[in-house]
C-alpha cells in the first residue's frame, strides 16, 4: 500500500537525478509546489520515455483507464498490485506499453497501537538520502468531444505498483511500493518492451537496507497539512517502541 508520500524536491533536481528533460508543464518553476503530504488525486511528477528520451512531467495520481466514463474512478486506483497487472483490465494495457517512474523523497505508513483506535504514523525514506523511484503505470484519458475545453484536452494519470512488504515495511503494513534501482529504470521505462514476464521479475520488495524509518506526528493523517514539519521525527506513542536505522525495537 502507498497512500501518502512526499514529493518535495525541485523539479530541476528530480530531472537531473533521473537524466530526464522537463516537459512544458514543469518548465516554469514551481509548476508543482513542494508537497510533504501527497494524497490521492493530487498532481505528482513522473518520468516517462517519449521519442527515445526520458521526460519529467505532471500526472494526476490515481489511474483513469481510457475506457472510464469519468475520471472519478482514479481515486480507487492509486495503487496497482504487481501480481495482477497482466490480467486486470484497468492495468494490463498500461503494463505492456505505458510504464513510468514516480519520484518520491519518502512515504508514510501507519502502525496500530495496542489497545488504541489511533495509529502511529511513520516516515520511510532511503537510507542513503537519495530519491525513491516507485514503479508506476500511466494512462491518457479524454472526455467526450463535446465536453472538452480544447480538441486535444487529455488527463494524464498514474498509479504506483505495490508488492509484498520487506522486513522494514512489514512491521507496519503487508504491502509496499515497488522501489526500482537505477539498473532497472531503462528496462522498465522502455515503451517498446512488452515482455511482461521479464518486467514482472522487477516487481519485488526492495532489500531491507534500502529503507530506514522514524515515527512522525499525527498531523500527517490530515491531508490539509503539507509542510516540512510532517517528516520531523517524534517519540512514538507506544511505550518502548523506537525506530533506529529501519529497525523497530
Question: Is 100 part of the annotated catalytic residue set?
Answer: no
The per-residue DSSP string of 155-173 comes to EEEEEEEEEE--HHHHTT-
- Our measurement of the distance from residue 151's CA atom to the centroid of its chain's CA atoms, rounded to an integer in Å, reads 30
179 within 8 A of 197, measured Cβ to Cβ = no
Which of the 8 DSSP states describes residue 6? E
Beta bridge partners of 177: 162
| Closest among 89, 125, 146, 142 to 232, alpha carbons compared | 125
For residues 151 and 235, what is the distance between their CA atoms, to the nearest angstrom? 53
Strands 43-50 and 53-61: antiparallel
Out of 2, 100, 139, 158, pick the active-site residue: 2
Beta-carbon contacts of 113 under 8 Å, excluding residues fewer than 6 positions away, are: 119, 120, 237, 238
Q: Residue 97, by phi and psi: left (phi above 0), alpha (psi -120 to 50) or beta? A: alpha
- Our measurement of the distance from residue 62's CA atom to the centroid of its chain's CA atoms, rounded to an integer in Å, reads 10
Out of 100, 109, 139, 158, pick the active-site residue: 109
Question: Is 130 part of the annotated catalytic residue set?
Answer: no
91 within 8 A of 63, measured Cβ to Cβ = yes
For residues 171 and 104, what is the distance between their CA atoms, to the nearest angstrom? 21
Strands 175-177 and 155-164: antiparallel
Catalytic annotation, residues: 2, 109
Amino acid at each position: 500500500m502507498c497512500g501518502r508520500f512526499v514529493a518535495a524536491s525541485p523539479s530541476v533536481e528530480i530531472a537531473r537525478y533521473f537524466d530526464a528533460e522537463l516537459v512544458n508543464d514543469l518548465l516554469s518553476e514551481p509548476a508543482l509546489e513542494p508537497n510533504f503530504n501527497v494524497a490521492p488525486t493530487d498532481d505528482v511528477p513522473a518520468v516517462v520515455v517519449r521519442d527515445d528520451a526520458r521526460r519529467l512531467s505532471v500526472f494526476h495520481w490515481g489511474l483513469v483507464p481510457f475506457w472510464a466514463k469519468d475520471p472519478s474512478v482514479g481515486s480507487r486506483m492509486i495503487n496497482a498490485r504487481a501480481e495482477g497487472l497482466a490480467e486486470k483490465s484497468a492495468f494490463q494495457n498500461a503494463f505492456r506499453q505505458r510504464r513510468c517512474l514516480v519520484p518520491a523523497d519518502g512515504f508514510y505508513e501507519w502502525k496500530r497501537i495496542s489497545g488504541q483506535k489511533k495509529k502511529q504514523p511513520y516516515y520511510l525514506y532511503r537510507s542513503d538520502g537519495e530519491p525513491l523511484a516507485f514503479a508506476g503505470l500511466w494512462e491518457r484519458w479524454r472526455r467526450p468531444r463535446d465536453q472538452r475545453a480544447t480538441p486535444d484536452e487529455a488527463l494524464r494519470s498514474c498509479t504506483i505498483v505495490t508488492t509484498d512488504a520487506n522486513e522494514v515495511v512489514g512491521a507496519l503494513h503487508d504491502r509496499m511500493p515497488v522501489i526500482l534501482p537505477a539498473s532497472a529504470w531503462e528496462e522498465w521505462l522502455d515503451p517498446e518492451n512488452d515482455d511482461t514476464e521479464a518486467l514482472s521479475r522487477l516487481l519485488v520488495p526492495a532489500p531491507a537496507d534500502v529503507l530506514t524509518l522514524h515515527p512522525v506526528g499525527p498531523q500527517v493523517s490530515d491531508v490539509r497539512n503539507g509542510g516540512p514539519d510532517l517528516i520531523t521525527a517524534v517519540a512514538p506513542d507506544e511505550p518502548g517502541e523506537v525506530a533506529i536505522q529501519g529497525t523497530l525495537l
